[in-house]
């Protein structure tokens, strides 16, 4: 015959008890009682499992599931000095987050990877000076364990502030000015651009223009350099600058058509801008690729 344990003055409840549910939240003592281990063993099991046997770890896991115990992250942070969160910082206007498909892909991948370690991904938009100052204060006050910098422009003070405060940083793309001091993951922008322009040359195109990305970003600088590696110092009429938005791609394409009407190909530094360029070309009655071949960059579903 099973035994029943009732609540005592401590507010805890032991093995075999009915979960009180609405009366109070289960505590770490409740988990220890159900698991048949000490409070300290439960604490170590919940904070990495150091010096905890596999049997005890499994007993704690089952007890947590049975009691419905939820770790107090604030209390854990006070002990471990870790926030269990990482910031995903986009240094672009808010509307870019919803327009550019690359951000969604990066967000999904980062959130999925961090979830495996029970870390939370915090999105921070730092597209204006005021936003950067506010985000900088938050990040350097111990609220995150690290920061992922996405689409960082040269001269962005956040990079230096984070490094000075000791917050671990990884950048997506070369962090201009910090290439040797900040860890980063980047495509080979220059060679990718070179390959695309070589392809346009290989299909017989000779009057090749380009729509660049922002020239204060690594992609903007490197992809323009790759284009010039193949065509040389192109005349100004063949180069138009964009900002990675669809609207900028359309505007830059209209500018190229006006300055170089004999254009027979264009390398566009992002797929989103290429989509804008296609709209303008269709509206102008130019056939793609018969009249003007268009090459983008990103391998985006767009």
DSSP string, 151-196: SPPTT-HHHHHHHHHT--EEEES--TT-TTTSEEE---HHHHHHHH
Query: What pLDDT was estimated at residue 50?
Result: 73
Query: What pLDDT was estimated at residue 219?
Result: 93
Query: What pLDDT was estimated at residue 165?
Result: 87
User: Residue 223: which of 262, 260, 193 has the closest Cα?
Assistant: 193
- Top mean pLDDT of 112-121, 158-167, 286-295 is at 286-295
80 or 7: which leads in pLDDT: 80
Task: For residue 290, give the 3-state DSSP assignment.
Answer: coil
DSSP-derived letter for residue 131 is H
DSSP-derived letter for residue 212 is E
Question: How far, in Å, CA of 220 to CA of 39, rounded?
Answer: 56
pLDDT of 26 above 50: yes
Q: Which residues pair with 240 in a beta bridge?
A: 211
Question: How far, in Å, CA of 170 to CA of 291, rounded?
Answer: 43
Summarize the confidence of residues 224-234 as an average pLDDT. Answer: 94
Sign of CA dihedral 218, 224, 225, 229: positive
pLDDT classification of 40: cutoffs 50, 70, 90: confident
**Max CA pair span of the chain:** 93
Query: What pLDDT was estimated at residue 236?
Result: 93
User: Residue 257: which of 229, 224, 280, 273 has the closest Cα?
Assistant: 280
pLDDT digits (tens, 9 = 90+) for 233-269: 889 999 999 999 999 999 999 999 999 999 999 999 9
Sign of CA dihedral 274, 279, 284, 286: positive
Question: How far, in Å, CA of 158 to CA of 163, rounded?
Answer: 9
Question: How far, in Å, CA of 269 to CA of 223, rounded?
Answer: 6
Give the Cβ contact number of residue 56 at 10 Å: 19
Query: What pLDDT was estimated at residue 14?
Result: 40
pLDDT digits (tens, 9 = 90+) for 68-113: 877 655 555 444 456 689 999 998 888 888 888 889 899 999 999 9
Length of the chain: 302
pLDDT digits (tens, 9 = 90+) for 134-156: 999 998 888 899 999 998 788 88
pLDDT of 47 above 90: no
Query: What pLDDT was estimated at residue 118?
Result: 85
Question: How far, in Å, CA of 253 to CA of 241, rounded?
Answer: 10
Question: How far, in Å, CA of 126 to CA of 147, rounded?
Answer: 13
DSSP-derived letter for residue 236 is G
Q: If you search the block for the tokens 């220059």, which residue do you land on? A: 190
Query: What pLDDT was estimated at residue 24?
Result: 75
DSSP-derived letter for residue 92 is S
Query: What pLDDT was estimated at residue 82?
Result: 64
161 or 73: which leads in pLDDT: 161
CB 258 within 8 A of CB 201: no
Question: How far, in Å, CA of 32 to CA of 72, rounded?
Answer: 16
Query: What pLDDT was estimated at residue 39?
Result: 86
* Summary mean pLDDT of the chain: 86
| Distances 56 to 14, 29, 119, 175 between C-alpha atoms, Å | 17, 15, 24, 46
Query: What pLDDT was estimated at residue 80?
Result: 47
Query: What pLDDT was estimated at residue 99?
Result: 87
CB 230 within 8 A of CB 201: yes
Query: What pLDDT was estimated at residue 81?
Result: 54
């Amino acid at each position: 015959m099973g035994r029943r344990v009732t609540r005592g003055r401590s507010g805890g409840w032991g093995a075999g008890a009915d979960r009180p549910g609405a009366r109070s939240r289960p505590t770490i003592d409740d988990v220890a009682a159900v698991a048949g281990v000490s409070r300290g063993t439960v604490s170590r099991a919940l904070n990495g499992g150091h010096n905890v046997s596999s049997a005890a770890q499994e007993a704690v896991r089952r007890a947590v599931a049975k009691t419905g115990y939820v770790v107090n992250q604030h209390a854990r942070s006070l002990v471990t000095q870790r926030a269990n969160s990482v910031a995903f910082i986009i240094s672009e206007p808010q509307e870019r987050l919803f327009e550019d498909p690359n951000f969604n892909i990066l967000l999904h991948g980062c959130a999925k990877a961090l979830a495996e370690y029970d870390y939370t991904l915090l999105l921070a938009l730092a597209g204006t000076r005021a936003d950067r100052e506010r985000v900088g204060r938050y990040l350097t006050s111990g609220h995150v364990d690290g920061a992922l910098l996405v689409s960082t422009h040269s001269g962005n003070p956040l990079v230096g502030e984070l490094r000075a405060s000791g917050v671990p940083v990884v950048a997506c793309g070369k962090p201009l000015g910090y290439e040797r001091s900040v860890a980063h993951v980047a495509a080979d922008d220059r060679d990718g651009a070179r390959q695309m322009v070589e392809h346009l040359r290989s299909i017989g195109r000779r009057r090749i223009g380009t729509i660049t990305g922002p020239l204060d970003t690594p992609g903007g600088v490197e992809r323009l350099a790759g284009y010039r590696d193949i065509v040389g110092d192109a005349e100004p009429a063949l180069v138009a600058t964009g900002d990675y938005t669809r609207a900028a791609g359309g505007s830059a394409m209209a500018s190229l058509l006006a300055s170089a009407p004999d254009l027979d190909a264009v390398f566009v530094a992002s797929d989103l801008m290429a989509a804008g360029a296609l709209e303008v070309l269709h509206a102008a009655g130019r056939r793609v690729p018969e009249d003007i071949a268009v090459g983008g960059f990103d391998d985006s579903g767009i």
